Amino acid sequence: MRSAVPGQAFGPLGPYRPDPLTVNRKRPGPLGFVLAVAVLVAIGMAVLAMAGVFDRPHAAGVNRLAQATSGPSLPPPTRAPAGTALAPSPSPTASLVPVGEPIVVAGTETHTVLRVEDWLGPTPAATGERNLAVEVQVQTLPGKTARFDQLYYTVENADGVSRNAPEMGRQPALAYGILAPGESVIGWLSFLVPNPGPFVLDYHYPLGTNGLAVDEKVLLDPILPPSPDPDPVVPAPKNPGATSSTNFGLPKALSSTNYSGYGVQLPGASVTSASGSWVQSTAHCSGKETSAVATWVGIDDGGVRNLEQIGTEAVCQPGSKVATYVTWYELYPQPQVPIETIRPGDRFTASVTRHGSARTLTIRDTTSGRTFTTKKTRTASAIQALWVIEAPARIKSNGDLQVLPLTSFGRITMTGCSAVVGGTRRAISDPHVAHYRFDMRTPSGGAKALTSALNGSGSGFSSTWKDL
């Protein structure tokens, strides 16, 4: 149930509006006075034209990518002079910043894009697309603390198409957290973006009040050839029966703002099915806010372009301590599709299967005996299987990505979790594939939902809600 920040049009320049004091005004007599007034008006208009008032473009908006070559029309950003100490100052909201130039953001940190590279990525880019890796440094100013989070970033191409950064990208990834005064972090952001360029990185830094945020835009140029990873990914073995003690170069545990659960993949191999079972837990609603928890299985392309998932969800609304429970499916980035209301305590089994471009999504309430199946067509790769308990994310009216508060759910146990990877059905713990655990945490590191180790069969685990 991922959400992505949609591509947004850049802000319009104000259109020219004629002065109402000089439009449709009746001429007074006599003639000499009228001529004198006309001369004065002509002189005034000439002065205004010289000042640029009547030369402003009459347009609905302007694409800032086009300004990469023509020059920005808005004030330049606040930048740190060379050789001087950095000090808090207002952050820019307009012009494009070049790679390698530090910029003061919100008076709390300096933000620098260090390097932009073509990247091989988890899968080769399709025709008309390219993988980009962007190395970023965030450093706090004296006496300040700052947040960092990969969810704050999107990349936009020349056509205004926007993509956000997946959790599984080039390592070491930027991830998220809080920096104390004087601390610094350097990490990679990975994007699969459609051509054409040039490309712009949007750093959307929330200020924490009334949806206010600071936007820094960096022109991703030059794009350099790929450099070796510090810890190269181990290629898939030629012998499918071989094992890897290094987890094929992938991390064994990841922190996430909205995932608790497990993922599986085998570099170079496709995932054609994922399935699992669970009991719908009872949600405990506070009655004070909107909150939710979703449980699902799915397969995706290892990024944020295409994700097929099916599961259950409990939703709490303000003013009510009784949750609503539903089944649903989603072919992200298409919207979620609700199926029907359900009861807590019922057991569910779900699966997502891929055969060529066909996707079959099935969920069965084994307690009531009701089954739902839908078949869809989608042309996309599938390299990752997922079993997830999630705090769903939504798009707010201002376009910001918001991870909803996680509903108190006690404990959810998933069993019978397996996937067909490289043509063979495997449990999560199968040593012939890479697997990794997600723990759901706040950006400051507080536990929201923690994931257990795998059970004895390697095909089950529990996620436990934590009271922050």
pLDDT in tens, 300-311: 987 667 899 999
CATH superfamily, domain 248-465, is Peptidase G1 (2.60.120.700)
pLDDT value of position 27: 32
Higher pLDDT, 221 or 229: 221
pLDDT value of position 33: 42
pLDDT, tens digit, 9 for 90 and up, residues 9-57: 222 222 222 222 222 323 334 444 444 444 444 444 443 333 333 332 2
Q: Are 77 and 216 in contact (CB under 8 A)?
A: yes
Q: What is the largest CA-CA distance in the chain?
A: 102
**Would the pLDDT of 83 be above 50?**
no
Sequence ranges of the chain with CATH classification 2.60.40.1240: 80-219
Give mean pLDDT, residues 141-156.
88
CATH of 80-219, one of 3.40.50.2000, 2.60.40.1240, 3.40.50.970, 3.30.70.100: 2.60.40.1240
Sequence ranges of the chain with CATH classification 2.60.120.700: 248-465
Please give the radius of gyration of the chain, using alpha carbons only, rounded to the nearest integer: 27
pLDDT value of position 168: 63
Q: Are 125 and 132 in contact (CB under 8 A)?
A: no
Cα–Cα distance for residue pair 7/339, rounded to 1 Å: 29
Instruction: State the sign of the Cα–Cα–Cα–Cα dihedral 239, 243, 247, 253.
Output: positive
Taking alpha carbons only, the member of 385, 324, 312 closest to residue 352 is: 385
**Would the pLDDT of 89 be above 70?**
no
Cα–Cα distance for residue pair 368/356, rounded to 1 Å: 32
Cα–Cα distance for residue pair 143/182, rounded to 1 Å: 8
Burial 330-360 (b: 16+ CB within 10 A, else e): bbbeeebeebeebeeebebbbbbbbeeeebb
Give mean pLDDT, residues 345-349.
95
Q: How far is CA 65 from the centre of its chain?
A: 21
Higher pLDDT, 410 or 4: 410
pLDDT, tens digit, 9 for 90 and up, residues 404-460: 999 999 999 999 999 999 899 999 999 999 999 999 998 888 999 999 999 999 999
**Would the pLDDT of 251 be above 60?**
yes
71 confidence band (pLDDT: 50, 70, 90) = very low
Burial 415-434 (b: 16+ CB within 10 A, else e): bebbbbbbeeebbbbbebbb
pLDDT, tens digit, 9 for 90 and up, residues 230-241: 433 333 334 444
178 confidence band (pLDDT: 50, 70, 90) = confident
* Residue 290 Cα distances to 86, 173, 280, 403, angstroms: 41, 31, 19, 11
Which amino acid appears at position 142 of this protein?
P
Which of 237-246, 306-315, 367-376 bottoms out in mean pLDDT, i.e. has the lowest? 237-246
- Assign 395 to helix, strand or coil: strand
364 confidence band (pLDDT: 50, 70, 90) = very high
Q: What is the DSSP letter of 281?
A: P
